[in-house]
Amino acid sequence: MGGRTLLAPRLLQAGTSLLTPGIIEMTGVAGVPDEEVFGPLLRVWRYDTFDEAIRMANNTRFGLSCGLVSPEREKFDQLLLEARAGIVNWNKPLTGAASTAPFGGIGASGNHRPSAWYAADYCAWPMASLESDSLTLPATLNPGWIFPKRWCDERLGSQFRRAGRADASLRGLSFGNEASTRHRFQVSNPRLAAKQGLLKMKTLADAGFPQAVIPPHERPFIPVLRQLGFSGSDEQVLEKVARQAPHWLSSVSSASPMWVANAATIAPSADTLDGKVHLTVANLNNKFHRSLEAPVTESLLKAIFNDEEKFTVHSALPQVALLGDEGAANHNRLGGHYGEPGMQLFVYGREEGNDTRPSRYPARQTREASEAVARLNQVNPQQVIFAQQNPDVIDQGVFHNDVIAVSNRQVLFCHQQAFARQVQLLANLRARVNGFMAIEVPATQVSVSDAVSTYLFNSQLLSRDDGSMMLVLPQECQEHAGVWRYLNELLAADNPISELKVFDLRESMANGGGPACLRLRVVLTEEERRAVNPAVMMNDTLFNALNDWVDRYYRDRLTAADLADPQLLREGREALDVLSQLLNLGSVYPFQREGGGNG
């Protein structure tokens, strides 16, 4: 008939009628029969306005159920009034209604009489509704729910962290990041996200771990919308994209730059041929919304590491799939003291000509990119190891290596199934890293699924002066009985980890980022640290100033509908102007260089 298959159904078991779900797009197809199909089949039509969507939904001789997936209550209220259906739900499934519900369907779906025995006594209009102001996916999806990317919304180490965006919103843009997908459509709280990150920074700084701030990016990012063909004033561009292509507005409003572990890959001066600190910006080309970050990230890093005698900031690799680079999230450094040469472990998910790769989710990092970054960073070839991540764990939601492993000095804390050919890799590290210690978490104690849901390994491993280590964890680890039991056993075992520090980072976690995602580790000598822009270093004064800044500019509630509001754009730009001056960065954002800001 001309429909386009978005998700093909398949038979789960021969000799049965068990099918996985199927999705067919019917937009533009003429003469579609008005028939009910009793099976897991969904037909999709695209529309321009909500009124048109309601007309399309009502254009049927059936009318059992309909529903709205949206954060906007006003649209659901309109649907309740205008829908021709016996069940009208908001952010809830359309199947499995209770037998006591006062519905009978409309039209050929039923007899338009309440099926519940006493419903006629309390029901004037036979319609039932289940309502929720946010959408929460089940922890485990039904078999067959594997979507292509377009369906998922295009469907002495110093720690550098980025404050969350004032318009941090729109989870669910990142296929392969299960936490992000699971929390798609939920209302976000940018103010709380920023406050949680700042509190973690200040707590660690007070504990003796130097912290510094990397500023957020401009969002929504208007220059990219103009590249996509939307013209006019900034206000007109926002109005057009919200009306014509709202998925682009979601992408250019993403808060993903807050995860600075993906900003760049770092090579300390002790590891480089020229004795300088090298930083190579990540291209993040596996996801459109993340691929927008590199140019501004480069400007920010050059404003922070502005002493060219000590630091070299390299531009991102070319934006091609062969050179997919995700930054420090796929990089570990192992060795003794921070000022001594270390072994750099680059982790990739795929390489050209190698059929060992994931099948469900994309492998974002390529070996070719890792090799190029090592060359750009002038890492001594004797201090590099390239290792492949286990493709099976990528297919379970381990989209970066820092979701399954974390390192510090001589310790590698990882899951038993983290790497392909893990036994050989650990043997290689033992031979090349003095005092190397691998802490492998058995799958019998913590499954990969539990590691992903709690972000056990997306943690920070930090050294104290006495050689002991602190493990910084998200609150989800403490709330999971099995993971917390393992962690307490770890404390009692013979290893350097002597303290667990737990933080509430729920806003970041809901987007798929834990403690490790929120920091970019930069190993510096004392002389190099003094050469860093001093205005970005965390202290009492900066902490108080940033909290005041967040209170002034960050909203405590943000929905998809807010992204088209020109006032949000103005608020964001004003906030970045003020922050640029506070951190002594100069004009680092495109709107400032075009004359629209004060920085």
Query: Three-state SS for 401?
Result: helix
In this predicted structure, what is the pLDDT of residue 376? Answer: 99
CA 241 to mean position of chain CA atoms: 23
| Biggest alpha carbon–alpha carbon distance for the chain | 85
* Active-site residue identified among 298, 326, 476, 507: 326
pLDDT at 181 (0 to 100): 46
Q: Please indicate whether residue 477 is annotated as part of the active site.
A: no
Task: Say which DSSP state 308 is in.
Answer: T
Which of these, 508, 509, 559, lies nearest to 70 by C-alpha position? 559
Buried b (16+ CB within 10 A) or exposed e, 366-381: bbbbbbbbbebbbbee
Would residue 183 show up in a list of annotated catalytic residues for this protein? no
Predicted TM-score (pTM) of the model is: 0.72
Catalytic residue among 351, 476, 517, 528: 517
Q: What's the pLDDT score for residue 46?
A: 83
Amino acid at position 501, single letter: K
**Residues that constitute the known binding site for substrate:** 171-180, 262, 289-290, 364, 402, 511
| Integer angstrom CA distances of residue 563 from 90, 254, 400 | 21, 10, 28
66 is catalytic: no
Buried residues in 508-529 as b, exposed as e (16+ CB within 10 A) = bbbbbbbbbbbbbbbbbbeebb
**Cα angle value 175/179/180 (rounded, 5°):** 50
Domains of the chain: 4-122 (3.40.309.10), 149-155+157-219+254-582 (3.75.10.20)
Helix axes 50-58, 73-82, angle to 10 degrees: 30
Please provide the DSSP assignment of 118-183 as one string.
Answer: THHHH-SS--B--B-SS----SSPPTT----GGGTT---EEEEEEPPPTT-B-----TT-HHHHHT
Cα 588 to Cα 228: distance, rounded to the nearest angstrom? 23
**Catalytic residue, candidates 217, 278, 400, 415:** 400
- Classify residue 470 by its DSSP letter: E
Return left, alpha or beta for 595; rule: phi > 0 is left, psi -120 to 50 is alpha, else beta. left
Q: List, run by run, the mean pLDDT of 10-residue segments along the chain (599 residues).
A: 76 78 82 80 84 86 84 86 85 69 62 54 67 71 51 44 47 46 61 93 96 96 97 96 92 92 98 98 95 98 98 98 97 92 98 91 96 98 97 94 97 98 98 97 96 95 95 96 97 97 88 87 97 98 98 91 93 97 97 66
* Nearest of 279, 250, 278, 277 to residue 262 by alpha carbon: 279
